[in-house]
Amino acid sequence: MTIKEETLHSNIETVNSKQLALLKKHFPQCFDKLGNFIQEKMLEVVNANKVELSKESYTLNWLGKSYARLLTNLPPKTLINEDLAHNQLEQNKNSKNLLIKGDNLEVLKHMVNAYSEKVKMIYIDPPYNTGSGDFVYHDDRKFTKEQLAELAGIDLEEAERILEFTDKGSSSHSAWLTFMYPRIYIARELLKEDGTIFISIDDNEVSQLKIICDEIFGEANFVSNIIWHKRYAASNDAKGIPAMHDHILVYQKSSLFNRNLLPRTEKQDSLYKYDSNDGKGLWRPDNLTVKTVSEAYLYEIVNPKTGKAYSPTQGRCWLTNKNKMQEWIEEGRVFFGQKGDGAPQLKRYLSEVQDGVIPNTYWSYDDVGHTDGARKELKNLFVSSAPFDNPKPTGLLKKAFQIGMNKDDIVVDFFAGSGTSAESLMRLNVDDGGNRKFIVVQLPEVTASKTDAYRAGYATIFDITKDRIKLSAEKIREESPNFKGDLGFKIFETVEDFRVEDDDKELTLMAMTMFDDVMLTDEQYHTLLTTWRLYDGSELITPVQDIDLDDYTAHLCDNRLYMIASDFSSAALKALLQKLDTDKEFSPNKIVFFGKNFDSVKQMELNEALKSYANKKSLEIDLVGRN
């Protein structure tokens, strides 16, 4: 056995590194021994499989696209910490809902390993770019123009122009696209093959957003552009033609996505108000003709009471042939009016219609709510004021979730804002007994001093998100005391990498000698453990078991044993070997230790013991030293 030395997240990334790694994994024959891509070899693969090549090409290019692709590939520069006090509260300790504080690009990068292809639906309401200062792009990645030019594969002049607009906080189309592209690209990796993404947007960026989504998801995976009628009245002082709508772009991960039917409403069912006491239940009259013409379906129907003959109007024909129609008449399925002397109509039975309604692309405020109603929802919840501008109504999100999710699925919203998506999902679970889970992400963006949020005591938008979820859960408990579903949530956050002293230095730990133990605070200790297990593919809600090894505490998660503390001793090693032999439930396949707390002697002793010890379970255990 050889100890594998590992650094969390590689920093050697370029604009195309991950894409090339994917190609190399699936098409190794298309690379030479130096790792260079051979285009002709790939064409051989394509031609051998008789793939039709299109000569038509249409893409969106902008200043910063190369930088956006580089941001997609760069590793996170933060760690993930758990809010232990909050998460151990009775209402939260078993919850599978998550609220994560931090830059959503950082969070998505942390999530990829553990949540890849596990999320059924993503809903996001990103910042709109109206040019009025509502969106400003700030970037905290610091590159020289020479570094950016090399990593992104661009010339120095373009690198300098990109750094200029990222440094000054631009609100241009290019800045908005540079901001959105990496987030949507990484988010796609989280989706199941039958998953979908819904993105709310207005007219200012909808055209650009659709083109980058075509590029990321594939043009064939565009599902719909839904129009939400969000206002019931235009402002009296509005200039030009005021916008009364927003868009919701819908894309599928692949053709495996199947949209759900929407529940039938009382209004729709109320149309079925007649009962013939024939055992088939309620029915309503419906058209007996269709807009096609078939000779077999063109004939006269005679009213059995009046003897009057009826033919379809020009350009239409009856629903079925003459023999079948006669059967329907004899069964009483054809309706000739309340007095029996009218034109023939079909009895459409409620029991025979499909159990749901096909969704369409126009969503009225009567159906899903409007912006004014959304503010009132928020004000009723927070009592004193609505501490968030332009929230979405819960009805809008509930309808989206009904279409895109099943009752046990996960939704991710990485622009959580006021927390509407979390409340909407909990309320939908109450309505239909579902067990859907949410993962919502919000940046701790500072609230402006003149806003209602600031006056209400909210220092950041994240504080509003957190309070909205908590308050809505409390209200749901009051309104639906018999509901036994999940109304709690766990909190995690991105934190600065305490291993890094500053941007110009290597890892602080790397500068230490192999014999220096690292004194971690309790928070740093748990941060390292949380980040590691997420990196290794364990979800944030996965239980962690403390393992006692003769007073040394290790941690077991998904058959991986983590050893971080510095007091690992020969007695702890002996206890580990004994537990491997005698504990039937203890079968780790990987042991990860914190390299800076295991000097060379401890590492050698651990490695030799595991290599030479023939455990009775014949376990194959990888030993990894990680910094």
Residues 238 and 367 in one domain: yes
Residue 137 has pLDDT above 90, yes or no: no
**What are the tens digits of pLDDT across the range 165-216?**
888 778 889 999 999 999 999 999 999 999 999 999 999 999 999 999 999 9
**What are the tens digits of pLDDT across the range 250-265?**
999 999 999 999 999 8
* 212 in Cβ contact with 206 (< 8 Å): no
**What are the tens digits of pLDDT across the range 473-482?**
999 999 999 9
Say what the pTM is. 0.88
Residues spanned by the domain of 35: 4-48
Residues 544 and 606 in one domain: yes
Q: What is the mean pLDDT of residues 321-347?
A: 95
In a domain, 66, yes or no: no
Q: Which residues have CB under 8 Å from 458's CB, separation 6+?
A: 387, 447, 464, 467
Where is 477: in which H helix or E strand? helix 461-479
Average pLDDT for the chain: 90
Which of 300, 328, 352 delimits the end of a domain? 352
Q: What is the mean pLDDT of residues 60-70?
A: 93
Residues 163 and 222 in one domain: no
Reduced 3-state DSSP string for 520-547: CCHHHHHHHHHHHHHHCCCCCCCCCEEE
In a domain, 389, yes or no: yes
**What are the tens digits of pLDDT across the range 555-587?**
999 999 999 999 999 999 999 999 998 898 999
pLDDT of 573 reads 96
Residues 100 and 28 in one domain: no
In a domain, 280, yes or no: yes
Residues 401 and 448 in one domain: yes
Letter for the amino acid at 152? A
In a domain, 59, yes or no: no
Report in angstroms the alpha-carbon separations of 247 from 174, 218, 361, 612: 20, 19, 10, 64
Residues 367 and 340 in one domain: no
Share of the chain above pLDDT 70, in %: 94
Which of 465, 495, 525 delimits the end of a domain? 495
Residue 283 has pLDDT above 60, yes or no: yes
**C-alpha neighbours within 13 Å on the C-beta side of residue 580:** 24
Residue 393 has pLDDT above 50, yes or no: yes
Q: CA 558 to CA 537: how far, in whole Å?
A: 9
Which of 335, 352, 369 delimits the end of a domain? 352
Residues 252 and 371 in one domain: yes
Q: Greater confidence, 620 or 65?
A: 65
Residues 235 and 205 in one domain: yes
In a domain, 502, yes or no: no
CATH number of residue 201's parent domain: 3.40.50.150
Number of separate domains in the chain: 5
Q: What is the mean pLDDT of residues 602-623?
A: 85
Ordered DSSP codes for 567-590: ---HHHHHHHHHHHHH-TT---SE
In a domain, 55, yes or no: no
**Which range, of 242-246, 290-294, 318-322, 375-379, averages the lowest pLDDT?**
290-294
Burial of 543 (0-12, 13-18, 19+ CB in 10 A): exposed
Look up tokens 């959503």; give the residue. 104
Residues 190 and 337 in one domain: no
Q: Provide the pLDDT confidence category of residue 289 given band limits of 50, 70 and 90.
A: very high
In a domain, 343, yes or no: yes
Residues 195 and 146 in one domain: no
Residues 254 and 382 in one domain: yes
In a domain, 71, yes or no: no
Q: Provide the pLDDT confidence category of residue 511 given band limits of 50, 70 and 90.
A: very low
Residues 114 and 223 in one domain: yes
